[in-house]
């Protein structure tokens, strides 16, 4: 009985030391990842603020993209509306963007009333050296592509982690492809057979089953594709598959991308001549 008690005692003492080390290591990692996160957040903010200041003027009709970087762009627009009495109207690209416009008391409109926009400001999951993009990590690619295509210019705002030489260098979650729910299996099979890789149905996190987009569709995330591909050709081929609604490949659409950098600066990239 005494042995047993002492065994429990030692083991718990050892356990306590281990817990303490784990706790300290965990704390250091937590602090590190917190500082990386806040650096990324600052980078998003600097890029978004600069893009809004450079590309939006009074009288503009503005497409509002989706995602966490666009939150800062809308914040800046709202501040300029208040301070400079900027007169703008906004067309959102998602439920989230619409809500952002409303919460920030900006004027909401749509493509029926305003089919031609001056500028669209949006984020990206990855930007390559040609300024081709992967978008749709947040599942809003269809409306994002429609609104961008109705805008005189598409301005991308991003942090330094999105800056790549080739698509797929950094962003490993795959190229999002929005599909009609009834067709997701044949489309998945076809993509994998023709191009290789895996096209996985995106599953929801706080819901059983798949992610359902703002448009009632599913998303396939196509991973392990050949990186040195002709993305313009592949995009055209993919949208011709019956049931494919849109792809997250934005080829030759962006006019400029702003990247907030780790050191607080912002660099920009335009397409090669
Ligand atoms: O395409 C998108 C949503 O469909 C976003 O623009 C993209 O996912 C980038 O988001 P974030 O600014 O949060 O990094």
DSSP conformation letters of 1-68? -HHHHHHHHHHHHHHHHHHHHHHHHHHHHHHHHHHHHHHHHHHHHHHHHHHHHHH--TT-EEEE--SH
Q: What is the mean pLDDT of residues 248-263?
A: 98
Mutate to test the pocket of ligand 1, among 46, 95, 137 (most ligand atoms within 8 A of CB): 137
pLDDT tens-digit series, residues 172-212: 999 999 999 999 999 999 999 999 999 999 999 999 999 99
Q: How far is the CA of 245 from the centre of ligand 1 (A)?
A: 19
C-alpha to C-alpha distance for 157 and 259, rounded to whole angstroms: 6
Q: Is residue 7 part of a domain?
A: no
Strand order in the sheet with 244-247: 198-201, 218-223, 175-179, 244-247
Judge if 41 and 155 occupy the same domain.
yes
Q: Which of 226, 167, 236, 233 is nearest to 198 (CA)?
A: 226
Do 96 and 223 lie in one domain? The reply is no
User: What whole-number percentage of the chain has pLDDT above 90?
Assistant: 86
In a shared domain, residues 45 and 103: yes
The model's confidence at residue 33, banded by pLDDT at 50, 70 and 90, is confident
Q: Within this chain, do residues 44 and 141 fall inside the same structural domain, yes or no?
A: yes
Q: Is the ipTM of this complex over 0.90?
A: yes
**Is residue 14, in this structure, part of any structural domain at all?**
no
Residue 13 has pLDDT above 90, yes or no: no
- Please indicate whether residue 144 is annotated as part of the active site: yes
> Cβ < 6 Å from ligand 1: which residues?
65-69, 122-125, 135-141, 144
**Mean pLDDT value across residues 9-35:** 59
The band of 254, judged by pLDDT with boundaries at 50, 70 and 90, is: very high
Do 159 and 189 fall into the same domain? no
Nearest by Cα to 90 from 60, 68, 67, 69: 60
Assess whether pLDDT exceeds 90 at residue 30. Answer: no
Q: How many domains does the chain have?
A: 2
Write the CATH number for 148. 3.40.50.1360
- In this structure, is residue 170 part of a structural domain? no
Radius of gyration of the chain, Cα coordinates, nearest whole angstrom: 23
In a domain, 223, yes or no: yes
> How far, in Å, CA of 209 to CA of 181, rounded?
12
Nearest to 168 by CA among 231, 213, 126: 126
Residues 223 and 159 in one domain: no
Gap between the Cα atoms of 51 and 122, Å rounded = 10
- Residue 1 reports pLDDT greater than 50: no
CATH number at residue 232: 3.30.70.260
Q: How far apart are CA 20 and CA 40, in angstroms?
A: 30
Q: Are residues 129 and 257 in the same domain?
A: yes
Kindly state whether residue 18 falls inside one of the protein's structural domains.
no
Determine which residue's CA is closest to atom 3 belonging to ligand 1: 138
Same-domain check for residues 132 and 227 = no
Lowest mean pLDDT among 6-20, 30-44, 141-155, 165-179: 6-20
CA-CA-CA-CA torsion sign (201, 227, 256, 48): positive
pLDDT at 135: 98
Average pLDDT, the chain: 92
Average pLDDT over residues 102-118: 98
Range(s) of the domain holding residue 196: 175-241
Question: Do both 71 and 141 map to the same domain?
Answer: yes
Using the mean position of ligand 1's atoms as its centre, give its distance from the Cα of residue 101 in Å: 17
Strand order in 89-92's β-sheet?
A: 107-108, 89-92, 61-64, 117-122, 151-159, 254-260, 266-269
Ligand 1 atom nearest the C-alpha of 140 is 4
Q: pLDDT-derived band of residue 35, with 50, 70 and 90 as boundaries?
A: confident
Total residue count of the chain as it appears in this document? 273
- Asked whether residue 180 is assigned to any structural domain, the reply reads yes
Of 216 and 30, the structure prediction assigns the larger pLDDT to 216
**Which residues neighbour 154 within 8 Å (Cβ) at sequence distance 6 or greater?**
63, 119, 120, 122, 148, 250, 253, 254, 255
Q: What is the average per-residue pLDDT within 79-102?
A: 98
| pLDDT over 50 at 171, yes or no | yes
191 neighbors 199 (Cβ within 8 angstroms)? yes
Residue 190 lies in a domain: yes
Question: Same domain, yes or no, for 99 and 233?
Answer: no
Extended beta strands in the chain, E state? 61-64, 89-92, 107-108, 117-122, 126-127, 133-134, 151-159, 175-179, 198-201, 218-223, 244-247, 249-250, 254-260, 266-269
Confidence of residue 3 (pLDDT cuts 50, 70, 90): very low
Q: Which of 112, 116, 126, 144 is catalytic?
A: 144
Greatest extent of the chain over all pairs of C-alpha atoms, in Å: 84
Residues 219 and 255 in one domain: no
Instruction: Tell me if 10 is assigned to some domain.
Output: no
pLDDT above 70 as % of the chain: 88
Q: 215 and 123: one domain?
A: no
- In what order do the strands lie in the sheet containing 126-127? 126-127, 133-134, 249-250
9: pLDDT strictly greater than 60: no
Tell me the pLDDT band of 91, cut-offs 50, 70 and 90.
Answer: very high
């Amino acid at each position: 009985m005494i042995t047993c008690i002492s065994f429990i005692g030692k083991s718990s003492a050892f356990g306590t030391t281990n817990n303490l080390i784990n706790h300290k290591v965990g704390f250091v990692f937590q602090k590190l990842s917190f500082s990386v996160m806040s650096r990324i957040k600052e980078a998003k903010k600097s890029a978004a603020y600069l893009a809004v200041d450079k590309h939006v003027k009074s009288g503009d009709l503005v497409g509002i993209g989706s995602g966490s970087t666009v939150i800062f762009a809308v914040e800046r627009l709202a501040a300029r509306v208040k301070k400079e009495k900027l007169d703008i109207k906004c067309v959102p690209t998602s439920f989230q963007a619409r809500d952002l416009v409303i919460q920030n008391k900006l004027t909401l409109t749509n493509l029926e009333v305003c089919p031609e926009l001056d500028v669209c400001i949006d984020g990206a999951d990855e930007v390559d050296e040609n300024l081709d993009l992967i978008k749709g990590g947040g599942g809003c690619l269809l409306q994002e592509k429609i609104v961008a295509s109705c805008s005189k210019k598409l301005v991308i705002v991003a942090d330094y982690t999105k800056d790549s030489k080739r698509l797929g260098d950094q962003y490993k979650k795959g190229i999002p492809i929005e599909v009609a729910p009834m067709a997701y299996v044949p489309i998945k099979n076809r993509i994998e057979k023709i191009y290789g890789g895996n096209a996985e149905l995106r599953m929801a996190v706080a819901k059983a089953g798949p992610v359902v987009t703002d448009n009632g569709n599913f998303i396939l995330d196509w991973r392990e594709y050949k990186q040195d591909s002709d993305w313009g050709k592949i995009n055209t081929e993919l949208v011709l598959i019956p049931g494919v609604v849109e792809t997250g490949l934005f080829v030759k659409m962006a006019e400029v991308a702003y990247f907030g950098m780790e050191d607080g600066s912002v660099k920009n990239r335009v397409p090669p001549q």
